[in-house]
Amino acid sequence: MHRGALVDAIAKDLRHGAAVKVIGSRGMGKSVLLQQIQARLLQDAPGTRVLLVPGPPEEPTVAGAVRDLASKLGVSDLSAPRMDDLLERVLEGNVTRLVVLFDEADQYVTAGEGERGAFARSWFNKLEVTRKQHGTRFDLVFAGGIGLFYLESEVGSGIVSRAEPCVLDPFTPEDISELARPLEEDGRPLDDICLETLRVLSGGIPVLVTYGLEHLWDATSPSRHALEQIFGVFREKHDGFVRAVRSSVSQNRRLDAPWRVLKVVREHAGSVSMQRLRDACALQAGESLSVDPEQALKLLRAAGLVKVEGSMLSDPVTAWPIASILNLPEIPASSGDPIERLIQDVCATMTELRRLGREFHGESGLLREQLFSSIITVALAGLGWKADREAIQAAGFADLKVHLTRQGLDGHVLIETKLWRGPAYNQGIQKQIDDYRVADSRHGIAVTLGVLDAAGWPDLYERTCLAGRRFDRLPTPPDLVGRWRVQQTDPDGKAWLTDHLVVQLPKRR
């Protein structure tokens, strides 16, 4: 995906004599962006030579780094590995400017022997001195994640600290539609619900969008059900990527503040007070590096975990977690009873959906019910549950059929998901679950989502959906509107229980 506006902005900064740092976590498209910058500069700036350096040199010393640049630039006869001599050789004839794009800047922090960051400090200081001597004839771009923060704060690199920051944000819905165009040209277009599902499961993170589209390309009939299967097993198959994203904002307990900031943003999605952010950034026992709220939010943005609207210095900050598999629950409930554990896992998913709620509004209101069912399916898969989507049951197609696989307990739990659209639409949810029940159905779960004001909704729900039935109002789970359990008995005396869960999503701003 070509990020034309971003490339234009970076090219403009370089023309004005500023170094640039591209901040992006694993999978955010840093390397691709550097290639696009390289192509733009070569196209638009005659006399400019552009070198893309993929990582640290094999010999992590200043002399080794100079020799590495010389080799990549085709200069083989330097009398000594000095940057001044190298620049004089490159900037001759028709070449009036050299731009070096350093990818994987994080790796420079740990390269070399001796004190952590010693090589990076020496090399980047040398680059800064050389740049001051040659002015706009020698420009630099650095691309990395948390390593850029280390280069600024721990290594003390002045050039990285003063470089113009460019945070890589996730792809927009329009970007994702453009990336899906080859499927349309192949006669297999993705419908709107499939594109929406891809967006909220990938979070727009470039590598996850690409991952989903590549797997859809192999599908005979690309659909949201295929996406549920693709992303349902992602955490298990690619746990290394998930760990890499985590390490991009946290490093071996030396720097855990960004994760605490993420927790605060999740708990107070939409409006986060600056004092809460400062408290989250306060150094704790064992930590050696401190960050301020703006730095922490930049790292979380660069990882595709948080979206910020407006200034990161305002109070409160308008920020919320981005809907994706990376912001779904990670730890299964601990209940010994498998059905209660499943209910708690569904409740935990509902809590996250509430926090992610700003991501679920379209032009005409909340996105479609099928999308929420897809998210629940993927979330439960990530917590170890196996679920069938729209499985054929007695009277139709159940939203989710979750298998109970614990020894000594077979069968399944039926889950039905509804948006709240008023009594006429929602009053039949219990009957719908009852109609889907078959011999090995062990429990039912009715999930209702909406933007109705929480005050008075529990009573309205009881009058609308539970009238005439025997039920208990159970303790309300965190961030939900209510939980009820309907109790029924078969003619043969067998109990049939259904839990009803109601969650309020934020209204569209």
User: Would you call 389 helix, strand, or coil by DSSP?
Assistant: strand
Q: Is the peptide bond before 316 cis (omega within 30 degrees of 0)?
A: yes
Integer CA distances (angstroms), 420 to 214, 359, 365, 449, in order? 35, 18, 12, 6
Give the closest residue to 388 by CA, choosing from 409, 364, 407, 404. Answer: 404
- In 3D, which of 320, 321, 342, 323 has the Cα closest to residue 333? 342
What pLDDT score was predicted for residue 62?
92
Same domain, 443 and 491: yes
399 with 412: CB under 8 angstroms? no
CATH number of the domain that residue 132 is part of:
3.40.50.300
Looking at the structure of the chain, the number of domains it has is 4
Q: Is the pLDDT of residue 395 over 70?
A: no
On the 0-12 / 13-18 / 19+ scale of CB atoms within 10 A, 13 is middle
Beta pairing class for 495-504 and 441-450: parallel
Tell whether the torsion through CA atoms of 235, 241, 245 and 250 is positive or negative.
Answer: positive
Determine the longest span between alpha carbons in the chain, in angstroms. Answer: 96
pLDDT tens across 41-79, in order? 988 878 889 999 999 999 999 999 999 999 999 988 877
Q: Are residues 113 and 228 in the same domain?
A: no
Q: What whole-number distance in Å separates Cα of residue 343 and Cα of residue 500? A: 10
359 plus 318 within the same structural domain: no
What is the rounded average pLDDT of the residues 348-355?
Answer: 93
**Among all chains, which residue has been given the structure tokens 């930590």?**
287
Q: Is residue 509 part of a domain?
A: no
In a domain, 331, yes or no: no
CA dist 135 and 98 (Å) reads 11
For position 400, which CATH number holds?
Answer: 3.40.91
**Is 441 within a domain?**
yes
Tens digit of pLDDT for each residue in 354-393?
988 888 888 777 888 899 999 999 999 999 999 888 766 6
In angstroms, the CA 104 to CA 87 distance is 23
Can you point out the beta strands (E) in 11-57? 20-23, 48-53
Q: What local confidence, expressed as pLDDT, does residue 154 receive? A: 75
Q: What is the pLDDT of residues 429-475, one digit of tens each?
A: 999 999 988 888 899 999 999 998 888 999 999 999 999 999 999 99
Provide the CATH number for the domain around residue 205: 1.10.8
The arithmetic mean of pLDDT across residues 214-240, rounded, is 89
Element (H, E) at 178: helix 173-179
Q: How far, in Å, CA of 353 to CA of 371, rounded?
A: 11
The values of phi and psi at residue 340, to 5°, are: -65, -35
The whole-number pLDDT of residue 110 equals 83
Q: Is residue 330 part of a domain?
A: no
Q: Domain boundary at 262, 294, 325, which?
A: 325
Predicted local confidence at residue 473, as pLDDT: 95
Instruction: Tell me what pLDDT residue 1 has.
Output: 64
Phi, psi angle pair for 135, to nearest 5°: 60, -135
Confidence class for position 509, pLDDT limits 50, 70, 90: low
Over 90: is that where the pLDDT of 480 sits? Answer: yes
Last residue of a domain, one of 210, 237, 264: 237
Asked if 452 and 481 sit in the same domain, the reply is yes
Task: Tell me, yes or no, whether 489 and 356 share the same domain.
Answer: yes
Amino acid 135: pLDDT: 83
What are 283-320's pLDDT values in tens digits? 888 777 788 899 999 999 999 999 999 988 898 999 99
Which helix or strand (DSSP H or E) is residue 166 part of?
Answer: strand 164-167
pTM, 2 dp = 0.90
Question: Is 80 exceeded by the pLDDT of residue 264?
Answer: yes
Does residue 48 share a domain with residue 136? yes
Is residue 276 domain-resident?
yes
Q: Which CATH number does the domain housing residue 256 bear?
A: 1.10.10
3-state secondary structure 231-290: HHCHHHHCHHHHHHHHHCCCECCCECHHHHHHHHHHHCCCCECHHHHHHHHCCCCCCCCC
**DSSP state at residue 317:** B
- The closest alpha carbon to 263, from 254, 252, 250, 251, belongs to 250
Q: Are residues 442 and 380 in the same domain?
A: yes
Residue 110 or 503, more confident: 503
Task: Quote the pLDDT of residue 410.
Answer: 83
Instruction: Say which residue, 335 or 169, is predicted with more confidence.
Output: 169
* 445 within domain boundaries: yes
CB atoms within 10 A of CB 58: 9
- Per the structure, the complete domain to which residue 306 belongs is given by 243-325
In a domain, 353, yes or no: yes
Helix 192-202 vs helix 224-232: angle between axes, to the nearest 10 degrees?
Answer: 20
Is residue 434 a part of any domain in this protein? yes
Angle at 303 between CA 301 and CA 309, to 5 degrees: 15
Instruction: Indicate if 262 and 133 belong to the same structural domain.
Output: no
Residue ending a domain, among 222, 237, 252, is 237
φ and ψ of 236, to 5 deg: -70, -40
Residue with tokens 């991009």: 248
Same domain, yes or no, for 151 and 282? no
Return phi, psi of residue 403, to 5°: -80, 140
Task: Identify whether residues 19 and 90 lie together within a single domain.
Answer: yes
Q: Using a pLDDT cut of 70, give the percent of the chain over it.
A: 97
* 471 and 498 assigned to the same domain: yes
Read off the pLDDT of residues 144-191 as tens digits, 9 standing for 90 and up. Answer: 988 888 888 777 778 888 999 999 999 999 999 999 999 999 988 899
Query: 449 forms bridges with which residues in the sheet?
Result: 419, 503
216 shares its domain with 248: no
